[in-house]
A and B are shown apart, each in its own frame.
Chain A
Amino acid sequence: MMIDVNFRMMCWRLVSFVAVAVSLSGFLAQAEEPTKPQQFELNSDNLSKLKNLVLPQQSENAFWKVAWEADIWAARQKAAAIGKPIFVWGGSEGPPVTNC
């Protein structure tokens, strides 16, 4: 900490040397702040990579791995034909398409 104060005092004494002061302040700012990350921009080269990041991974969105029937009547007909009961999901105005 002391080294830092002394360094600042030294910088203050050099204030008349404008060019030097500007150069030092630039150097200090660079030393104190981490390198700013480059902003990600959507382009045709990274489109596919980004798409893969957004789309569900193997372990995600399990709901859509089931071939749901949206029509209860069609589900009744299928269930009757194969001799199985029906599992009904009564979502909020539809299926749980969101993660709310």
Chain B
Amino acid sequence: MDVMAASRRKDAVGRFLRESGCVHFKSTGYVSVVTADGQTLGIVNPTGHNGNNNKPKGLHEWLRHRLEEWQKLPVKRRQPGAVKVADLDEIDAAFAALQPPEGALIVRVTNRTMQHDDQGQPRLVCSKDFDKEISDIQLGRLREPANDFMWIPQAEWQALFDINPRVGQSQVVPESLKLRVFGHHMNPNLGIQGSRAYKPRSLQMGEMTATVEEVTTNSVRLELAGAGVLDAPGGMDTRLLYRPALLGHLTYDRQKRTVMELEMVALGSLSGRLHRSPAALYSEKPRLLGIVYELIHNPIGGERLRPNAARMQGSKPLGNYRNYLNPKANY
């Protein structure tokens, strides 16, 4: 749950969260167990509770105790259907608007830091890639890919398709799409850490082409290709440089007028430091950053969460959302 945004809601959702106390509004990263009728059975910071970097055993034990407390509640509160939760009759307009726009594509973005093997092929990172000794838990977290979501408004993806496409024809890629892909979804500060710190001076960092590769009665397939350079201040007074090449495909269903497939991969050298631990543990030496973009068909629940770059900042819930959907080169 986006606690920062939820804390400011002026509707029944905001009241439920404030009255039940199931989230900490000033400190994120907490987990809690709450009943449907609003009784919080416990709230804890898993890192602090375990004292050892999210060691699972402590949290499992904590959860077991919360379930025991749940079992002690009267049966009439625990039975299926015993608690009635009506549909919302009022929704804070500022937050109701923070949804993916109608017709937008939702794309899962997966970022993984890697290294070259002796043959020059990409490989997963290992402990020798770090300047100092790191624990197995830290290595596991640094090796794991990081997630983000990308939204592509309907007007942008529709602009990529001509009514009478010919193989080899180049389609103009909307400037806003290029700015979003390169500026927001090739920025390791955002993609790996979800942080808006160390912004590049401009989002205009790459070029992208779309070429018609195949045309059938039912579909049009585009090849998407590009390259860019991200240059931003990094952590510990370093310069963060990422030089990705981009390649992928987008297939359009001419009968249903929808996108059937979108798949892109970016790969490039990354140097400089990110600013938060543990990603800051990487040395300044160049490594590889691979990014995969995949269309989500029929996104549900958590897959509809806002992209990192569109999340709220300070007391302005809509500012980053608007800038994300209508990016400008200099923001």
Contact = CB atoms under 8 A, between A and B. Distances in A.
A81 B29 contact: no
A71 B96 CA distance: 11
B247 A81 contact: no
A100 B194 contact: yes
A50 B114 CA distance: 11
A88 B31 contact: yes
A85 B142 contact: no
Contacts of A60: 144-145
B144 A99 contact: yes
A57 to B, nearest CB: 9
Interface string B183-197: 000000001111100
B116 A37 contact: yes
B190 to A, nearest CB: 9
B290 interface: yes
Given A54-B290, A87-B63, A68 B302 contact: yes
Contacts of B118: 37
Interface string A40-57: 111110010011011110
B302 A64 contact: yes
Contact of A85 (B41, B88, B116): B41
Interface residues of chain B: helix, strand, loop or mixed (majority)? mixed
Contacts of A64: 147, 302
B165 interface: no
Interface residues of B, number: 88
A64 B227 CA distance: 30
Contacts of B1: 70, 72, 88-91, 94-95
Contact of B146 (A79, A80, A99): A99
A97 B147 contact: yes
Nearest to B23: A90
B5 to A, nearest CB: 7
A56 B144 contact: yes
A39 interface: yes
Contacts of A50: 122, 265, 267, 290
B3 A93 contact: yes
Given A70-B305, A93-B28, A55 B84 contact: no
B48 interface: no
Interface of A: 37-44, 47, 50-51, 53-56, 60-61, 64, 67-74, 76-77, 79-83, 85-100
Interface of B: 1-6, 12-13, 16-17, 22-24, 28-37, 41, 63, 66-67, 70, 78-85, 87-88, 110-112, 114, 116-124, 141-142, 144-148, 191-195, 245-248, 263, 265-267, 276-279, 288, 290-292, 300-302, 304-306, 308, 311-312
7 contacts: A42-B266, A50-B290, A83-B80, A90-B22, A94-B1, A94-B2, A96-B29
